[in-house]
Structure 1
């Protein structure tokens, strides 16, 4: 199978590594790594679900000739910095040659004039990436589609640097330099809505996984979120709920406690902490409940579908 691609950024003798991995140009390195590992598991001979010899060879070729080189380029700091600079130059070139740019997909054509290009661009790429390597015969076509979206995004960015530049250094104060007249200075720009926190994307993914009862994956996302924002009460509440579903009640209590320390009004923690303490045989103060031996040896329900916590994530109540 030929891996030649003549659409999107590939038309300009440029290898679109972001398109190969199915990620947006402004994706951070952490998410690039996650995406690479997902693709690698799909294509690696030891974990691939394909059975025919031809399909296995195709999966191996896609991994070794496209996916691995793309990840190597985007994961190493020096290579990534150089690549972003080239992307920036490519954006300027595309603006100058916009009249001759060819687009073949309706999504890419719509992206040219859509108002909220940032959000629409990310959504469009995520949709294609979901099935990018499901059908190996169609993978090259999916890469080409994503590369067209990347091309349009670079054009819409008007050749500006993709990564956020560091703030400029303040000029040294020179006492001999006269102070500017600030009387006629323009007013500061109006305040804008606060951007999502660094952990917000992990929380959104975790919530989606929880809704699908994929608690192990949700816990991984929430652990990553806590590494970024260890004082985020919502992170602690969500991971506590995951621990509840996994019957790890002591861990759940720890995170509910943390959530309430950070936000005493956290409603999820306020609701569930007393139930956890009761299931663990604790009083609200934290002291042991003196009860009958039979009650002391009673174990939490491990069925996952019933008992005290069975209905939390959509399980059937007994």
Structure 2
């Protein structure tokens, strides 16, 4: 039986490991591991005592050629980071290419135009996952279906719906328009960089700082003068105890927006900590505030991301 898949992201010479495991493209490592264990148990020879030799062989091939490589790619920190960068770039490329995003399933077409994209996407992935490996002969077709959903989700997350209507004309206002803040990138909902920033905030709230840093690095490639992005990635570096990198980005944030509150709060503490770093083992207390008890609510990060999401 051929395991070749030609739909969804696969038709762009890209192995869609998320589709193989049937998890959302932003699934965390914990959920990926849980899903992998469920599939591995389903395909293990001990779970197929009544199966024919051909069925057991097919189960073994699916496990060794598709499932195990997907799990290894998505749980190794280095390979996962590289993979997610490529995935994000692919989403942007597909948006820009005319004729990209062609799909074969009704569910993918529905996702392309649904106003409730995120809810529909996750519900569809969860439903398909429940029976993905029940019929081993149908597994490649099911993976292709999931990959089409991933393709549409990536494109829409990159800021463009396949079926987006023509833009609504903006009504002019005779009043004097407000003076734009210099050096700040636009924060409209269609900004691709804003999509990265929102995903990064969600990842930071989950303490997934490596993935958050990848999102913010991509955002900075698009909008290198986005003060919010510099401030957020500085906080990520700070959380990873990379004080010099945190200082660089806080400095950039203040150059672009002298009123950035996070930079104003943290930069003096980092400067002081770096000044004491040579021969001083008390760097962390200097940054976090000497003599203060840890903030169980999440400290600065809890304050930024612990409230209602906008």
Q: Which band: TM-score by shorter chain?
A: 0.5 to 0.7
Q: What is aligned with 2:67?
A: 67
CA contact 2:101–2:152 (8 Å) conserved in 1 = no
Compute the TM-score of the two structures, normalised by the length of structure 2: 0.54
- Structure 1, unpaired ranges of 5+: 183-229, 232-318
Q: What is aligned with 2:167?
A: none
Q: 1:16 and 1:181, CA in 2 relative to 1: closer, same or farther beyond 3 A?
A: closer
Q: 1:86 and 1:173, CA in 2 relative to 1: closer, same or farther beyond 3 A?
A: closer
Q: 1:98 and 1:143, CA in 2 relative to 1: closer, same or farther beyond 3 A?
A: farther
Q: 1:76 and 1:180, CA in 2 relative to 1: closer, same or farther beyond 3 A?
A: closer
Q: CA RMSD in A?
A: 2.9
Q: What is aligned with 2:263?
A: none
Q: How far apart in 1 are the matches of 2:136 and 2:252?
A: 61
Q: Deviations over 1:88-147 (max 9, x none)?
A: 110011101253431100010011111121111000111111100000011111100000
Compute the TM-score of the two structures, normalised by the length of structure 1: 0.53
Q: What is aligned with 1:171?
A: 250
Higher helix proportion (structure 1 or 2): 2
Q: How many residues align?
A: 183
Q: What is aligned with 2:51?
A: 51
Q: What is aligned with 2:106?
A: 106
Q: 1:50 and 1:89, CA in 2 relative to 1: closer, same or farther beyond 3 A?
A: farther
**SS of aligned partner of 1:150:** helix
**SS of aligned partner of 2:132:** coil
Q: How far apart in 1 are the matches of 2:115 and 2:123?
A: 14
Q: What is aligned with 2:123?
A: 123
**SS of aligned partner of 1:46:** helix
CA contact 2:8–2:103 (8 Å) conserved in 1 = yes
Aligned structure 1 segments of 4 or more residues deviating by more than 3 angstroms: 159-163, 172-175, 179-182
